[in-house]
Amino acid sequence: MQRQNDRYLRALQCQPVDCTPIWMMRQAGRYLPEYRQLRTEAGDFMTMCKNPDLACEATLQPLRRFDLDAAIIFSDILTIPDAMGLGLYFEQGEGPKFKKPIKSLSDINQLSIPDPQTALAYVMDAIRLTRKELQGRVPLIGFAGSPWTLATYMIEGGSSKTFTKIKKMLYSEPSSLHLLLDKLAESVALYLNAQIEAGAQSIMIFDSWGGALSHRSYLEFSLQYMHKIVSLLKRGTRGQEYSKNYIPVTLFTKGGGLWLDNIIQTGCDAIGVDWTVDLSLLPKDKVAIQGNLDPTVLYGDRATIQHNTDLILKEFGPHNGHIFNLGHGINQDTPIESVEILVDTVHKLSKRDHNGES
């Protein structure tokens, strides 16, 4: 039986660890040749998400190659709008699209809140299967998109750089947008609680586009709804000691470095930070911090990767509560050897700052 590695869960609860845990956003994905092969065999990405065997296999692929400290269930944030009936599809090389984007208040009024046990049962099945396959080797992360980030895709009809449509609604019809965000917050909370029940051991909320908002709008249209979700999550009780049954929640707003104090006030257990943030300036031992290597450092040579990793570990210093990660998802043309170097460097160098268990 393999060793049970829980340093990721311990770090999330700001408990001592033997070395800094690491996982990578988008760790299962196209930079892995075995992922590309699996996707070719499956036909397309959503078929992989909806088939628990394939989703489980994709989740486990990066763990076979690298000494990562957590698995994240292979799925997508857009499963919720898909379950709401918007018709998600992916066009080769173009990212996500919706057949029926949200155009009006009447579209919003017609949206119903998906029952995660039926419309999203495939995600719960994938989580249960993956927990079984992992046998406790590393913890499994469940996730969802923030209401704001989901709404950007639902209103823009796909990816956007300018967010013109949703911002037009924000300034001209704010109550319609609030209605949508409220429905999404309720849907996400139900979905995440179902993931916890199915076996997710920590939860991460991706607010990939919160950074597109003004300070005021961020608080009103993004953070408020993540706060609501955090309050509705069935996390259990957190005490002074480490508890393996507690479900920590991480909030990640890309571009949210100026708002970290506000994010912490939601009562989340950890904040995800992108590479614009200096970790030495953040409060330690209160909430855990996840991040924050610029993913493009992985295009550099061994010495460059080691040097930049060392800088981040030094910036964080000898405290509890650091989960090493990239500042955003790994790029699809990242060399595999770079990931090996990164994982190895984080574990080796961070031993100097730790002498805890796990």
Catalytic residues: 26, 30, 39, 76, 153
Q: Which of residues 94-113 bind ligand CP3 (CB under 6 A)?
A: 95-96
CB atoms within 10 A of CB 18: 16
Binding of residue 155 to ligand CP3 (CB under 6 A): no
Which one among 18, 34, 38, 39 touches ligand CP3, defined by CB under 6 A? 39
Binding of residue 37 to ligand CP3 (CB under 6 A): no
Tokens of 227: 């706060």
* Cα-Cα end-to-end distance for the chain: 16
Single-letter residue type at 147: P
Nearer to ligand CP3, 14 or 213 (CB): 213
Cα separation of 274 and 271, whole Å?
10
Binding of residue 152 to ligand CP3 (CB under 6 A): no
DSSP letters for 219-268: IIIIIHHHHHHHHH-------SS--TT---EEEEETT-GGGHHHHHTTT-
Binding of residue 143 to ligand CP3 (CB under 6 A): yes
Tokens of 181: 């965000």
Tokens of 228: 């609501």
Cα separation of 233 and 24, whole Å?
24
Binding of residue 29 to ligand CP3 (CB under 6 A): yes
Nearer to ligand CP3, 8 or 242 (CB): 8
Nearer to ligand CP3, 14 or 140 (CB): 140
Binding of residue 139 to ligand CP3 (CB under 6 A): no
Q: Which of residues 221-260 bind ligand CP3 (CB under 6 A)?
A: none
| Cβ–Cβ under 8 Å, residues 271 and 289 | yes
Least Å distance between CB 135 and ligand CP3?
20
Binding of residue 116 to ligand CP3 (CB under 6 A): no
Nearer to ligand CP3, 14 or 274 (CB): 274
Tokens of 162: 């300018």
Q: What is the contact surface with ligand CP3 in residues (CB under 6 A)?
A: 25-30, 39, 45, 72, 74-78, 95-96, 143, 159, 206, 208, 329
